[in-house]
Amino acid sequence: MLPRPFNQPLLITAMPEKLRKAALDYHEFPKPGKIAIEISKATSSPEDLSLAYTPGVAIPVLEIKNNPENAYRYTSKGNLVAVITDGTAVLGLGNTGALAGKPVMEGKAVLFKRFADVDVFDIEVDAENPDDFIDTVARIASGFGGINLEDIAAPHCFYIEEELKRRLDIPVFHDDQHGTAIIIAAGILNALELQEKTLADAKIVCLGAGAAGVASMNLLMEMGAQRDNIYMVDRQGIMHHKRENLTPTKQAFVINTEKRTLADACEDADIFIGVSGPDLLSSDMLLSMAPRPIVFALSNPIPEILPEIAHLSRSDLVMATGRSDYPNQVNNVLGFPYIFRGALDVRASTINTEMNIAAARALAELGKQPVPPEMAKIYGHDSLEFGPDHIIPKPFDPRLREIVPKAVSQAAIDSGVARLDLVDWKG
C-alpha cells in the first residue's frame, strides 16, 4: 500500500480509544479475522463426498499428474492468489514480524474478493534472509495462479521480486512497488493534460527512494519521462553524481548536478511526488515550482504538505494525496485487484511493463469519463467531472471491473505472455 510516515507508530498508539475499540471489535466479532473458505461444490450426500474426496478425487489427481495445466481445469488455481509478506515493512509500523502482518494480508484478501472476485490465501513467512523467503515462496507457488508480495522492506523487496519473477511462470507482483506506481502514473497523465504539459518535458521531483518511489519513476520513464529530468531525493538529499555508498537501486537515479537539497530540486519543477513522510514540502518549496505545478503528496495519514496549505500557497496547482477525505486519492485498490483479474483471465505467465502501462492508461482514460450520478452521490457530490478535483476514478466505480482487467488482458496477449486469449477464457 502507500507509504506511511516515519512516525506513524506514535500516531497509531495515540488513536482515540473509541476508534481503537471499534477496530479491534471489527476484527474479532462475530468471529476472528476477515476472511473464510467457501465450499463451491455440493456436499450434501455420500455421493458428493465420494467425488469431493476419496475415491473420486483420484481422477483429477491423475489428470494433473499427466498434464500440470489441468490444475487450471480441476482446481481453484486459476482464480487463486497468494498474498505473502515477511512482515518487515507492515504499514508504517516497520518490522512487526510476519504474524503481526496477518491482519493486513487478510485485508488485501478482502479487497481482492470485493472488487475483482479473486480468491486469496494469505501467507506469512518468517524469514530474515531474503533467499530463504524466495525459496519458501518458490516451493509453494505451483498451487497458485499468482503471487502478490506485500509489506516487504526495501532494498530486499527489489531482489525478492526479481528472483521470484525469474524462477516462476505465474504473475509475481509487489504491490508496494508497482501498484502504487500505476495509480500515480494514471493521475500524473491526467494532471499533465489539465496543466497543459507533457511527460517528456516535465521536470519531476520524487521524494522517497523506497519501493514506491523507485517503481513510480521507472514506470514514468517507460511512459516517456526523461531520465535527466528526474531528481530522486532521500533523507540525504538528491541522488547526485558525487554521492557515495548508494545502493544499486539508488545508483540508477544518479544525476549530474550541483543541486543537493529538496529545496534545490523543487526550483522550477513541474511535478512533485512524495512517498516519504509528513510535512516535508514547505510552502516556499511549492512556491519555487514552475507555473501550473502538480503535487502528489502521498504520505499517510499526514501528507508531505496538507492540501489546505498547498492551495493557500498556489492557486494554479493540481494536487493528489493518499487520503480519502481529500480529492484525488491515490489508492492502490484502483489497481491490484483488476491487474490480477486481467492477468488471471488470460493465464498470463507474468505481469510485465506493458500490462502495467495498460492499467495506468485505462485508469487515466476512465478518470476523464463522466461519473454516473448515483456513484457521485456515494462520495457526497451531486456530480463529478474531470478536472483539478477529479483526475482518477473512485474506488467504488463499477466500471473499473470491466475496463481495467480487459486492458491488462489485452496487453498480456499483445506482449506474448498470455496462455489464453479472451475468447478462450470467456468461452
Catalytic residue among 26, 65, 74, 108: 108
Q: Does this model's pTM top 0.95? A: no
Among 405, 391, 315, smallest CA distance to 355 is for: 405
Measuring CA to CA, which residue among 358, 363, 335 is closest to residue 417?
Answer: 358
Query: Whole-angstrom Cα distance, residue 408 to residue 345?
Result: 9
**Is the distance from CB of 208 to CB of 298 less than 8 angstroms?**
no
**CATH class of segment(s) 178-321:** alpha beta
Domains 8-38+63-175 and 178-321 equal at CATH topology level: yes
Domain boundaries along the sequence of the chain: 8-38+63-175, 178-321, 332-426
* Sign, CA torsion 396/218/146/322: negative
Q: Which helix (H) or strand (E) holds 148?
A: strand 146-149
User: What is the rounded CA–CA span in Å between residue 65 and residue 220?
Assistant: 43
Q: What cell numbers appear for 209 in the block?
A: 527512494
**Amino acid, single-letter form, for residue 147:** I
pLDDT, position 53: 95
How far apart (Å, rounded) are the C-alpha atoms in residues 219 and 208? 15
The tens place of each residue's pLDDT in the chain, 427 residues long, gives: 344 444 444 455 557 898 899 999 999 999 999 999 999 999 999 999 999 999 999 999 999 999 999 999 999 999 999 999 999 999 878 899 999 999 999 999 999 999 999 999 999 999 999 999 999 999 999 999 999 999 999 899 999 999 999 999 999 999 999 999 999 999 999 999 999 999 999 999 999 999 999 999 999 999 999 999 999 999 999 999 999 989 999 999 999 999 999 999 999 999 999 999 999 999 999 999 999 999 999 998 899 999 999 999 999 999 999 999 999 999 999 999 999 999 999 999 999 999 999 999 999 999 999 988 888 888 888 888 999 999 999 999 999 999 999 999 999 999 999 999 865 655 4
- State the pLDDT at residue 380: 85
pLDDT of residue 424: 60
**Residue 72 falls in the annotated catalytic set:** no
Give the integer Cα–Cα distance in Å for 417 and 343: 9
CA distance 321 to 32: 32
Can you read off the three cell numbers belonging to residue 69? 495445466
**What letter would DSSP give residue 67?**
-
* AA identity, residue 142: S
Tell me the C-alpha to C-alpha distance, in Å, between residue 301 and each of 8, 199, 317, 324.
8, 28, 21, 10
53 is catalytic: yes
Alpha-carbon span 213 to 358, nearest angstrom = 20
| Alpha-helical runs (H) found in 146-303 | 156-167, 180-194, 211-222, 248-251, 262-266, 283-287
Instruction: Say which of 21, 53, 74, 377 is annotated catalytic.
Output: 53
CA dist 213 and 250 (Å) reads 10
Q: How far is residue 243's CA from residue 254's CA, in Å, rounded to a whole number?
A: 8
Q: Which CATH architecture has domain 8-38+63-175?
A: 3-Layer(aba) Sandwich (3.40)
Cβ of 389: how many Cβ atoms within 10 Å? Answer: 14
The label of the residue with cell 516515519 reads 6
d(CA 40, CA 13): 41
